[in-house]
Amino acid sequence: MSETAVVTLEDVSHVAELANLELTAEELPHMQHNLNAILGYITQLNELDTTGVPAMAQVGEMLGSEVHLHGETLRPDAIKPSLDRAAVMAAAPETDGKFFKVPKVIER
Amino acid sequence: MTTAATKTIDEIRTGLESRSLTATALAEEHYARIAAEDGQINSFLALSRERALAKAAAIDDLAALGDPLPLLAGVPVGIKDVLAMQGSPATAGSKILAAYMPPYDATAVKKLDAAGAILLGKLNCDEFAMGSSNENSAYGPVRNPRALDRVPGGSSGGSAAAVAAGFAVATLGTDTGGSIRQPAAFCGVVGLLPTYGRVSRYGLIAFASSLDRVGPVTNSVKDAATVLKVLAGQDPLDATSSDRPADDYVASLTKPVAGLKVGVPAEYFGEGLDPEIRAAVEKTIAQLETAGCTIVPVHLPHTKYAVPTYYVIATAEASSNLSRFDGVRFGHRTESPANLSAMYKKTRDEAFGPEVKRRILLGTYVLSAGYYDAYYRKAQQVRALITRDFLEAFVQVDVIVGPMTPTPAFKIGEKSDDPMAMYLADIYSVAASLAGICGISVPCGTTAEGLPIGVQIMGKHFDESTVLRVGAAVESAQA
Residue A98, min C-alpha distance to chain B (Å)? 16
Note the pLDDT of residue A82: 86
DSSP letters, A24-73, are -TTHHHHHHHHHHHHHHHHGGGGGS--TTPPP-SSHHHHHGGGSPPTT-S
Residue B164, min C-alpha distance to chain A (Å)? 32
- pTM for this predicted structure: 0.95
Task: Look over chain B and give the mean of its residue pLDDT values, rounded to a whole number.
Answer: 95
Tell me how far apart the alpha carbons of residues B253 and B270 are, in angstroms, rounded to a whole number: 32
pLDDT tens digits, residue range B330-347?
A: 788 898 888 888 889 999
pLDDT score of A66 more than 90: no
Q: What are phi and psi of B440, to 5 degrees?
A: -145, 145
Q: Which residue type occupies B191?
A: G
Residue B459, min C-alpha distance to chain A (Å)? 14
Pairs of CB atoms within 8 A across A/B: 166
Q: What is the mean pLDDT of residues B227-251?
A: 93
Q: Is any Cβ of chain A less than 8 angstroms from the Cβ of B341?
A: yes
Instruction: Enumerate the H helices of B180-253 as residue ranges.
Output: 181-187, 221-231, 249-252
Band the pLDDT of B329: cuts 50, 70, 90. confident
Please tell me whether the peptide bond between B132 and the residue prior to it is cis, using omega within 30 degrees of 0. Answer: no
> How many Å is the maximal CA-CA distance in chain B?
70
B411 DSSP 8-state letter: B
- Kindly report each contact of residues B235-238 with a partner whose C-beta sits within 8 Å and lies 24 or more positions away, as own/partner: B235/B107, B235/B200, B235/B202, B236/A73, B236/A75, B237/B107, B237/B200, B237/B202, B238/B107, B238/B200, B238/B201, B238/B202
pLDDT score of A2 more than 60: no
Q: Which residues of A touch B377 (CB under 8 A)?
A: 55
pLDDT tens digits, residue range B143-186?
A: 999 999 999 999 999 999 999 999 999 999 999 999 999 999 99
Q: What ipTM describes this predicted complex?
A: 0.88
The verdict on a CB contact (< 8 Å) between A31 and B196 is no
Note the pLDDT of residue A106: 66
Torsion of CA B353, B355, B358, B363, to 10 degrees: -110
Tell me how far apart the alpha carbons of residues B215 and B112 are, in angstroms, rounded to a whole number: 12
Q: What are phi and psi of B192, to 5 degrees?
A: -110, 125
Q: Are B174 and B131 in contact (CB under 8 A)?
A: no
Range in A54-58, B29-33, B136-140, B450-454 the model is least confident about: A54-58
The verdict on a CB contact (< 8 Å) between A23 and B357 is yes
Torsion of CA B158, B163, B166, B168, to 10 degrees: 90
Q: Which residue type occupies B357?
A: K
Q: Which residue type occupies B40?
A: Q
Q: What is the mean pLDDT of residues B246-270?
A: 96
Q: Which residues of A touch B339 (CB under 8 A)?
A: 105-107
pLDDT score of A108 more than 80: no
Listed residue (B205, B248, B185) closest to B410, CA to CA: B185
- What is the dihedral sign for C-alpha B102, B104, B110, B116? positive
Residue B422, min C-alpha distance to chain A (Å)? 11
Note the pLDDT of residue B235: 92
Q: Which residues of B touch A68 (CB under 8 A)?
A: 242-244
CB atoms within 10 A of CB B324: 11
Tell me how far apart the alpha carbons of residues B468 and B92 are, in angstroms, rounded to a whole number: 29
pLDDT tens digits, residue range B375-404?
A: 999 999 999 999 999 999 999 999 999 999
pLDDT score of A68 more than 90: no
Q: Is any Cβ of chain A less than 8 angstroms from the Cβ of B234?
A: yes
Q: Which residues of B touch A39 (CB under 8 A)?
A: 362, 365, 375
pLDDT tens digits, residue range A11-56?
A: 999 999 999 999 988 899 999 999 999 999 999 999 999 999 999 9
Q: Is any Cβ of chain A less than 8 angstroms from the Cβ of B339?
A: yes
Active site residues of B: 80, 155, 179
Q: Is any Cβ of chain A less than 8 angstroms from the Cβ of B54?
A: no
When scoring A15, A27, A77, A104 by the number of chain B Cβ atoms within 10 A, the one with the most, hence best to mutate, is: A15
Q: What is the mean pLDDT of residues A71-87?
A: 79
Q: Which residues of A touch B240 (CB under 8 A)?
A: 58, 60, 70-71
pLDDT score of B29 more than 70: yes
The H-or-E segment that residue B79 falls in is: strand B76-80
